Structure 1
Amino acid sequence: MIAGGNDIPITWFSRIFFFAGPVIAFVVTKRICLGLQRRDRDKVLHGRETGIVKRLPHGEFIEVHAPLSQDALHTLTAHEQYRPAENGPTVDENGGERRPKGSERLRARLSKAYFGAEGQIAKPTAEEYREITSGHGQH
């Protein structure tokens, strides 16, 4: 409907936004999803906010967190943690040098960008959870 206007700036905006719009939408959606994953990770490690603020003897203010139920912990950590695809071995079955095809290298790079360290927030491990919950009495 916007592109239907017979104006040169509107036409150019429509042409550019036709290709740039999905990319912008992907980047914005990805940032929102990473923020939600970070919030879920913090909630698993530290518990839910209670709204109770306490003052410590040395003057510091802290908010008291309540531990989550086992059902809530399971819900927040039940998703599968995907690993990025790899190029594979550089030596074939006959012992010769194997060069991955360009499409295979591109697939590995895109997979690393999407599922690598910057592409998803790692689930908290059981050791991290135990360390946080046992190390602090009032978390």
Structure 2
Amino acid sequence: MHTAIQTPGTIYTGLPDQNDSYYQPQQAALKKLSQQLAPKSHQRLVYGDVWLRDIAPIVTNAKMVKFKYEPDYLDTKFNDIINTRFAKWLEHQHFDLSYSDIRLDGGNFVYNDADTAILTDRVYMIILATHKNVSLKRYRKNWDSSKLS
């Protein structure tokens, strides 16, 4: 598996200082990602809070799962733009991804790196209301988790 960013598990929320030696090996990849996600000069992007952990794949001990990112508070047009740009970046990273049609912001998911996934009751109820055919078994399959709390 090839990745542009050499430190799996790290979430980058901005470009590090150019003099920071720890991030030096990733500097070019981070700058490229930043440029790809930057809006075009003639576009004005107005949005709620978009966090990398919300749109990025969820990593469990067995796989990476990319869930459908479609929060109600984002404009549909903006949501399409951000998903398209992020999907293009993911495609170039050659990650071994599984895709799920379940709507879930990754920031609402906690995993213990072993066998347990945690969602709040509120998030779980929203998912059940949105996806009538979702079952606990399907969640376990997506997350390779024997326990869902």
Q: Identify whether the pair has TM-score above 0.5, normalized to the shorter chain.
A: no
TM bucket (normalised to shorter chain) is under 0.3
Relative to the length of structure 1, the TM-score reads 0.23
Richer in helix (by share): 1
Richer in strand (by share): 2
Relative to the length of structure 2, the TM-score reads 0.22
Q: Could you say which structure has the larger radius of gyration?
A: 1
